[in-house]
Structure 1
Amino acid sequence: MYNVIQWVFLAIFFPVLALMVLVKRKYRGRILFRLGFGIDHCARSLSTGTPVIWIHALSVGEVSSCQTLVKAIRNAYPRGTVILSTTTRSGEAYARNILAGSVDLFLPYPLDILWSVRRVVSRIRPDLFILVETDFWPNLLHELKIRGIPSILVNGRISADSFTRYKRFKWFFLPMFKAFKLITMQTENDCNNMIELGVDRHKVLKLGNLKFDAVMPGDLSGQIKDRSSFGIPDHKTVIVAGSTHAGEEEIILRVFRKLITEFPDLFLIIAPRNVERGKPVTLLARQEGFIASRRQEPMLAGGNLLVLDTLGELAGVYSFCDIAFVGGSLVQQGGHNPLEPAVFGKPVLFGPDMNDFLEIAQGLLNCAGALLTRDEAELFEVAHRLLKDKKMREEMGRHAAALVAEQRGVTARHVEMLQTIMGEADN
């Protein structure tokens, strides 16, 4: 039924898709590749090293989560072949930037059309497929299963909204979950939810959250930056609003306007989650009267605001900021990773919607490493309090960094589990 509906959909929308491919160059190569064209050339360029391990990460967030795992797999299998696929262009660009030395082949994730999936699987012939967190597709998982290729879900999480959706459409999701040889979840609650959905409890393990290891200082030491490299004077007090979404920048700019009247040496960095929004966010800031620069352009003299519209530099600005606000949380986007500033010992602020990072957010709140700001008024009040109290900022930062340090070892547990599965496959 799934494939029948899919073909009907394609028949209806094929003219639109074809026009997009012909008119817009940015879609041309990627869509054709996702259909399976071009995979032959890529497969021929691969080494013959075994095992062949295919890892899939949906976008930037999932790539960030699995980066230490990818590097650890490369270290565990130096003669093997590591393939990393992503669904989004930004995810692939970010992966190429941080994992070039650990991955043999970067691929756009194939569209879940049966012949595309079969073509890609036949050409790369993986010994193991690893899915990071989410992006479930029936045809691929079914094809891997019937070919006897083990697939594993790592760093799984189930938010309250997702759990409701999975239960409502259990007939669709449960067969996919059952196709995995093993599922590793972030928390005990995630495990219980997966088991309640009908997955065999012996297949479900709690191994912790890979995001903790992904932000270890040793991994990010090369990204620690000095504010002068961004054109920001040393005497400035820097607030970073990271991974922001539409609707949040307006709030942040209004709060910044109030704060800067009392703290004239304040400097704001806004890092939109989608870097392609850099230009409109900059225009918005300028319309509000700020001297705003874009990272991709020369810094404007006398500026007090920078829009970070580049990939791979958010950790760098978190490393030297004085206060960090994590976006996607004042609007209904589920929040983003609060560990990214926490690892650098920074006080963390976030809004009420941290559904995608509930355990981490609650852990930071419990250890006094973060503060919840429910709305614009609270964001102003909390930021104002922190700007007046340097000791409070430093204490919060120490608590945040300590929480991250306590959670080491998640990657090592995953690699041990993967080696066990690979050993079973060899026997």
Structure 2
Amino acid sequence: MLVINARLSEKSQQGYQKVAKLTHIIMRSITVLASHNKTDAERFIELGLEASKSHVTGSIKFDITPSDEQLAKVLNLKKLYNSNEDNNDERFVWVAGSTHPVEHELVLSAHQELLKKQPNALLIIAPRHPEQFDKVGELLTQSPLSFSRRSQNNYNNEQVLLADTLGELQCLYGAANVSFIGGSLIRRGGHNPLESAAFSVGVITGPHTYNFDHVYPELIKLKGAVMVDNNDELAKQLITFSQNTKACQTLGIKAVQCVAKNQGAIQKTLTIINQYLEPKP
């Protein structure tokens, strides 16, 4: 049995320890295990995996590269949304991706604060689940913010674009100056920041990132992401980046450098797998 792209949180390890005898049997049945990082590998070993069967290959999630088709779409999106037709000024654009209930409101509040300093700013909000599209639309209708829906393709310099389409989030990230990754201002554990980082767009995240604790520490350490504790701090960070484009660009450069630095997990994993697929003499 080969286990690839393996992760094991401290909480999960504690759960497996409650059925230690069964867990030990499972660990002993593993032929080889390819883990995200050294910490997770050590947790598997503590549960009974033989150390010689453990390999640290990194996370496959880092092996993300925008396609030519995606890059072309990003250019078109920038033409649509990154300039104001009224005065031809470039807009500060930020994407709030994969947002959840309660978080929608926090994001809209942060954008209203940003608009006080940058009246030209655009928020592209992409709810995590399609059933939230109309609910966010209702929130926007009840707010003082002007908005349009991506699905209706009738954008006219509104303050908010509701991304109520599927399969476009990565490219929308690519069209932004900076991104906020949802599920992190509330206790949902966050979502994948590398979808933004791969497009050289830096990341802002809330404090709840446990679903990606194998990604965020590296991204923050290499200065491709910043963490905020609440929507007030989110607004302040957005204002800072909108007023300092060089700092915003540097965040994006550091983000894509982090992705490049950690790539290679797929090839390392394939090398391990091939050792067991090749016919023995």
Shorter-normalised TM-score: what interval?
A: 0.7 to 0.9
Contact 1:342/1:400 (<8 A) preserved: yes
Which fold has the larger relative contact order, with Cα–Cα distance below 8 Å and residues 6 or more apart in sequence? 2
Pairs within 5 Å for 1:19-418: 151-170=1-20, 175-213=25-63, 215-217=64-66, 220-224=67-71, 225-226=74-75, 228=77, 231-234=80-83, 235-418=90-273
TM-score by length of 1: 0.59
Q: Tell me the distance in 2 between the aligned counterparts of 1:163 and 1:294.
A: 44
CA RMSD of aligned residues (A): 2.2
1:204 to 1:255, Cα distance in 2 relative to 1, 3 A: same
Amino acid at match of 1:187: N
Please state how far the C-alpha of 1:177 moved relative to its aligned partner: 4.9
Please state how far the C-alpha of 1:185 moved relative to its aligned partner: 0.8
1:335 to 1:392, Cα distance in 2 relative to 1, 3 A: same
Deviation sequence 1:247-296 (CA, Å, 0-9, x none): 21111110001111221111111122223322212222222232333333
Contact 2:178/2:252 (<8 A) preserved: no
The aligned residue for residue 87 of structure 2 is none
1:398 to 1:233, Cα distance in 2 relative to 1, 3 A: closer
1:229 to 1:381, Cα distance in 2 relative to 1, 3 A: closer
Contact 1:239/1:325 (<8 A) preserved: yes
Amino acid at match of 1:205: H
Please state how far the C-alpha of 1:364 moved relative to its aligned partner: 1.8
Deviation sequence 1:33-92 (CA, Å, 0-9, x none): xxxxxxxxxxxxxxxxxxxxxxxxxxxxxxxxxxxxxxxxxxxxxxxxxxxxxxxxxxxx
1:165 to 1:423, Cα distance in 2 relative to 1, 3 A: same
Gaps of 5+ in 1: 1-150
Please state how far the C-alpha of 1:175 moved relative to its aligned partner: 4.9
Q: Tell me the distance in 1 between the aligned counterparts of 2:20 and 2:148.
A: 48
Gaps of 5+ in 2: 84-89
Amino acid at match of 2:160: L
TM-score by length of 2: 0.88
Please state how far the C-alpha of 1:182 moved relative to its aligned partner: 2.5
Please state how far the C-alpha of 1:167 moved relative to its aligned partner: 2.4
Q: Over alpha carbons, which structure has the higher Rg? A: 1
Q: Tell me the distance in 2 between the aligned counterparts of 1:282 and 1:174.
A: 51
Contact 2:98/2:183 (<8 A) preserved: yes
Contact 1:238/1:323 (<8 A) preserved: yes
Contact 1:227/1:317 (<8 A) preserved: no
Local SS of the residue matching 2:152:
coil
The structure with the greater share of residues assigned to helix is 1
Contact 1:210/1:410 (<8 A) preserved: yes
The aligned residue for residue 80 of structure 1 is none
Q: Tell me the distance in 2 between the aligned counterparts of 1:346 and 1:208.
A: 22
Q: How many correspondences in the alignment?
A: 273
Q: Tell me the distance in 2 between the aligned counterparts of 1:170 and 1:282.
A: 49
The aligned residue for residue 5 of structure 1 is none
1:324 to 1:227, Cα distance in 2 relative to 1, 3 A: farther
Contact 2:78/2:175 (<8 A) preserved: no
1:160 to 1:308, Cα distance in 2 relative to 1, 3 A: farther
Deviation sequence 1:349-375 (CA, Å, 0-9, x none): 101111122232111221222111011
Amino acid at match of 2:159: N
Amino acid at match of 1:268: L
